[in-house]
């Protein structure tokens, strides 16, 4: 993966009427998440929460190939912090553990594997390009979907379907994701942002305080925290700490980098 040009911000935030559109702007890196992305997305989301004139948020990726390729492995290999330095509790991309009252819509413009799927899972509504794919391939690398993917996928899909995605690591098409209710709409290539804005307009025409209260109740939010998910986050972090000490967690990324099949040792 390559870095975006120095004069280009990693994240773009713009207003479309009463909707904030957040764009991960690293198409050269398949919109992979590094520290700059987490800062840009997290701060934009925080701004949207604080501004009463913002009634909804749309998050998308630049270009037409990838919504988000997950974490920037080059940044990680350089031991860079890929989280928001001041608000690490916001999680991956400053988004997945960052609850706001305003409705969030993912406009999935391309492939969304791993962290990209986790961004979609963290959104209230999802519109996807017909070419998009979703999946959590972390088990193929000796890891887990630690940005909320493990527990959210089985909440948002029938358990057996979610478990198949988790345990096989295999992707599904946008059409299949829509059929199973993981996403709301599938649209023709190149139209996903317009479709997401159309959906946002159907939301923002309603009374904003009623919409926000409905969202808080639906998620079971107390003091800005989705309380039912906190145990899932704690289990994820506990399991991840153990996995990162394993030989398999080192073998998975190494085999991927060397373009060979991994040799698992279960230790």
Task: Give catalytic residue positions.
Answer: 118, 138
Buried b (16+ CB within 10 A) or exposed e, 110-132: bbbbbbbbbbbbbbbbbbbbebb
Gap between the Cα atoms of 62 and 54, Å rounded: 22
**DSSP readout, 113-180?**
ETHHHHHHHTSSEEEEETT-EEE-GGGGGT---TTTHHHHHHHHS-HHHHHHHHHH---EEHHHHHHT
10 Å Cβ neighbour count for 231? 10
SS3 34: coil
SS3 118: helix
Tokens (6 digits) for 5: 């040009």
List beta partners, residue 139: none
Tokens (6 digits) for 223: 């003091």
Closest by alpha carbon to 71, among 109, 31, 105?
Answer: 31
Q: Are 179 and 129 in contact (CB under 8 A)?
A: no
Closest by alpha carbon to 182, among 200, 161, 202, 211?
Answer: 161
Helices (H) and strands (E) in the chain, counts: 10, 11
Gap between the Cα atoms of 154 and 211, Å rounded: 25
């Amino acid at each position: 993966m390559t870095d975006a040009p120095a004069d280009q911000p990693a994240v773009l935030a713009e207003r479309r009427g009463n909707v904030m559109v957040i764009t991960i702007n690293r198409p050269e890196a398949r919109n992979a998440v590094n520290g700059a992305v987490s800062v840009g997305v997290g701060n934009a989301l925080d701004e949207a929460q604080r501004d009463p004139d913002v009634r909804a948020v749309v998050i998308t990726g630049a270009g037409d190939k990838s919504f988000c390729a997950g974490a920037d492995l080059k940044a990680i290999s350089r031991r860079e912090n890929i989280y928001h330095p001041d608000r690490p509790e916001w999680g991956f991309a400053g988004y997945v553990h960052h609850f706001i009252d305003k409705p969030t819509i993912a406009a999935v413009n391309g492939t969304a594997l791993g962290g990209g799927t986790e961004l979609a899972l963290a959104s209230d509504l999802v519109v996807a390009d017909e070419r998009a794919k979703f999946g959590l391939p972390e088990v193929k690398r000796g890891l887990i979907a630690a940005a909320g993917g493990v527990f959210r996928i089985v909440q948002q899909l029938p358990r057996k379907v979610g478990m198949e995605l988790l345990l096989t690591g295999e992707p599904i098409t946008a059409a299949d994701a829509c059929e199973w209710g993981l996403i709301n709409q599938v649209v023709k290539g190149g139209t996903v942002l317009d479709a997401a804005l159309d959906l946002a307009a159907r939301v923002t025409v309603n009374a904003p305080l009623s919409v926000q209260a409905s969202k808080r109740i639906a998620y079971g939010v107390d003091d800005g925290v989705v309380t039912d998910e906190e145990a899932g986050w704690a289990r994820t972090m506990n399991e991840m700490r153990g996995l990162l000490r394993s030989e398999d967690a080192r073998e998975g990324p190494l085999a991927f980098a060397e373009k060979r099949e991994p040799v698992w040792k279960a230790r």
